[in-house]
Every structure is written in structure tokens, then in C-alpha cells.
Amino acid sequence: MKLYNTKTRSKEDFIPLQEGQLKLYACGPTVYNYFHIGNARAFIIFDVVRRYFEYLGYEVSYVQNITDIDDKIIEQAISEHRDFHEIADKYATAFLEDCAMLGIKPPTHQPRATHVMPQIIALIDTLVQKGHAYEVDGDVYFDTASLPEYGSLSGKQIEDQMTGARVAENTQKKHPADFTLWKKSKPGEPVWQSPWGEGRPGWHTECVVMSQHYLGESFDIHGGGIDLVFPHHENENAQAMALTGKPLARYWMHNGFLNIEGEKMSKSLKNFFTARDILEEYDAEVIRFFFLSKHYRSPIDFTRELIEESGKALQNFYKALSSVDFLSLKRTEITLSEILDVEKGFRDAMDDDFNSAKAIALLFDLAHRIRDARQEQTHREEAALMLVKLGKVLGFFQNLQSRLQDNMHDLSKQLIDLILGYRKEARANKDWALSDRLRDDLLALGIVINDSPGGSTWELRN
């Protein structure tokens, strides 16, 4: 298993801290709004990381935070004229709903920042006592100069980067790179009591507290979007280094950005889509296919044409599974070496820094085998079993049964409507013998015809 580590900018062999166990942390949302389609990409990618490790037999602890106190939430609360708690709850609930819609398996733990406030304050206090943080008039800052390793994750040299960068003047800080750990409250803002007076936590600290609480002071993989490398993850790691002398995580994984029609998604360009918007229009599984058909570290361009293309491509799997009547398969064993080789190829692809695009190509290979009329029946069934097995590792086929049954259901309805069409024609020709025969035959199948002046309808007899 190799994965690309942002910290070293290279692919490395993955070696877990404890054999057979994966401690994974991926940054969740700040719940000030519905999350957008770019967030969805990250959530789906780390869902697949988690599923793949589980498939490999790892015992996975997957923690994802819900940051429910932050400037943006306060701003949103003001604009909606509501309490910040209500806003945070509203969007946290929406977040969970949307993730479920996307077929994302719930993380092992999903802690909220406001539930760990004593620990956040304790962490900041420790940093102050260790000389890595300082207070100025109710605000507490992390002292980046106190940590020689600061910048090592993102590859930034503090002195260089600040020239020309748009960094707001803050005369309170000792150094422009110093970041806020604790923020003195302004009137009307939510407050917690602290050794530095009433205030609230800055960004970055809650992730350190929550990840270490569930995963230990240093864990295996920390993930998030590429934009989080700096400053968020750099600052998280700095706190951990200052606290324990050890990095927060051994491997840092970051997914690439999502653009819309070739442009950066932004509210001002009016190309900002929430996952909720997209899910109204497209199937979650199609969205997942779209994301996984490209490597997670590459930028991805979101267009309707490409989503629709993904839908067509995905349809191949269902056609194949329908052709073997997958739901009626009794066998579960896969013994054919050719099919097992495909599984090996799938693992090789996924072991290579989660090459899901290559893995999907192997799923098509299976679909192709299933649909190839020249194959022996047994081979087709084994290929179908493997297709579902591997597809599920990527999070596909979660509603396989209803999906395949719905197809059948729709077909039945269409067939009945078709027969009713013939009967209508027969009745128009006063061919009562045929008309009655059609009605009786349908009735024998439990389908009741109701004739009315406006036409005929049908229902199933209970």
C-alpha cells in the first residue's frame, strides 16, 4: 500500500502505527451553511479510503469533526436573525442528511467542537505554559517562532511567504504568521469562560483536540482538501508538535479542487452548488462515480455533460447485473482464477495511492465479461459476484436490490400500459372478444382493470 504524503511530497509505503488498525481523521465541515459539491468530493474520497481499508481487513477508526463554533457561523446567525446554536444545529443536521444521501458511511466518531470546550481551553493553556503561545489582551496566539518545524508540512518558509501576501495587519501578534488560538468575545457573541477571560476558540484547535481524543496523540492519516494544507493543517500540526514533540499524523492526504465549467466555484460567479442542489438533479451514485473516475489528487471539472456521461457509464454495471438476474443468484463463491486475478488488479490499483480510476476500469472488465454472450454461465455469475463485491468497496451498489427491482417494477408497469393500449384499440374496433380476453388474462395475474369514460386504469388486487 502506497500513498502520497503531502508532507514529503512523495508516495510512501503505508505502515500503520498498530498492525491491522487504521486511525483516520478527515476534516469535516464548519456548519454555517449547506455543504457544497466540492466538499462532497472530499467526503466521498475519504469514505472510499475508509471502505478500502476495511475491505483489506483493517479495524478502522474514522473521526470527522463538526465545527459548530466559528466566525462564519456567527455571521450566518446574524444574517438569519437566529441564535448561533440554532444555526449550527440546523446545518449540522443537514450535513448528516446530505452525507447519508451521498451514501457516505457514518464515521466512527463525529464529535462537535462545542462539546470539547474544556479540552480546547486546556490545550491552549498547556501551549501557553510551554511557551508556545502568548496572550495579548484576551486573545491568545500561537508563537510560530517558538517552533523550528513550523512550515514543514506545507513546505513554506515563513519569512519568504509573507512578502507580497495579503496578510492583514495585526499589531498584537509578535509575528504575522502567528495564529489565533483563543479569541476575545465581542458583545453579543457566544462566550466560554477561560483563563484569559470570556471568549471562544480560534480555528485549528478543535481538530487537534478531537483527533487526539479519539485517535491518540499521533495517528495514521489526516486528510482534507488541498486548500487546508496551509494554514489549517500546518497549524494543527504545529500545535501537536509543540504539545507532544510528535507530528499529529504520519501521513497527510489531500484531495484536489473541484471547478465548475472550468472556473473556480464561488458565490460571486454564481456557479456555487450545494450537494443538496446537485442531489435533486442527479443520482448520488452517479456523483460518486464521477468523482472516483478521476484520481483524487487531480483537480476535477464539474459539468453537466460529464455527470450525464458518468450516468451512462454506470448504467453498464446495472445492465450487466440484470442480465444474470443477480438478485436470484444462489451461489456466493468465487473460485475462478481469472476472476480472482481481476480482484488482484483492483487491489494493485487501489494500493497505488487509491487509483480509483484504474479500479473502475477493472469493474468494466467484469461487466464486459458478464455481458459477453460467449462466456460460460458460471463465469458470468462469478464475474457478477466480483463486480458487486469490488463495486461496494468504492461505495457503489448500496441500493442494489431496490435498484434492480425498481427496474423490473418500471418494466412491469410499462408492459401493463402497453397491453391496455392494445385493449383500447380492440374496444375501439368493438372487438369485445379480444378486449375481454385481455382483461381476463390480466385479472388472472392479479391486475384489475377499471374502465371509465375517461379511459382505463389498473390496480393490483390484494
Partner RNA sequence: GGCGACAUAGCCAAGUGGUAAGGCAGAGGUCUGCAAAAUCUCCAUCCCCGGUUCAAAUCCGGGUGUCGCCUCCA
Contact residues: RNA, CB under 7 A? 9, 11, 27, 29-30, 35-36, 38-39, 41-42, 72, 155-157, 160-168, 203, 224-232, 255-259, 262-265, 293-295, 298-301, 305-306, 309, 312-313, 316, 319, 349, 352, 355, 357-358, 360-361, 364-365, 368, 371-373
Q: How far is the CB of 150 from RNA (least distance, A)?
A: 13
Give residue 331's identity as a one-letter amino acid code.
R
In the bound state with RNA, the residue whose beta carbon lies nearer, of 48 and 449, is 48
In the bound state with RNA, the residue whose beta carbon lies nearer, of 195 and 299, is 299
Q: How far is the CB of 140 from RNA (least distance, A)?
A: 16
Q: How far is the CB of 258 from RNA (least distance, A)?
A: 4
In the bound state with RNA, the residue whose beta carbon lies nearer, of 186 and 437, is 186
Q: How far is the CB of 362 from RNA (least distance, A)?
A: 8
Q: How far is the CB of 202 from RNA (least distance, A)?
A: 9
In the bound state with RNA, the residue whose beta carbon lies nearer, of 165 and 433, is 165
Q: How far is the CB of 309 from RNA (least distance, A)?
A: 4
In the bound state with RNA, the residue whose beta carbon lies nearer, of 291 and 439, is 291
In the bound state with RNA, the residue whose beta carbon lies nearer, of 237 and 435, is 237
Q: How far is the CB of 40 from RNA (least distance, A)?
A: 8
Q: How far is the CB of 454 from RNA (least distance, A)?
A: 31
In the bound state with RNA, the residue whose beta carbon lies nearer, of 125 and 352, is 352
In the bound state with RNA, the residue whose beta carbon lies nearer, of 368 and 437, is 368
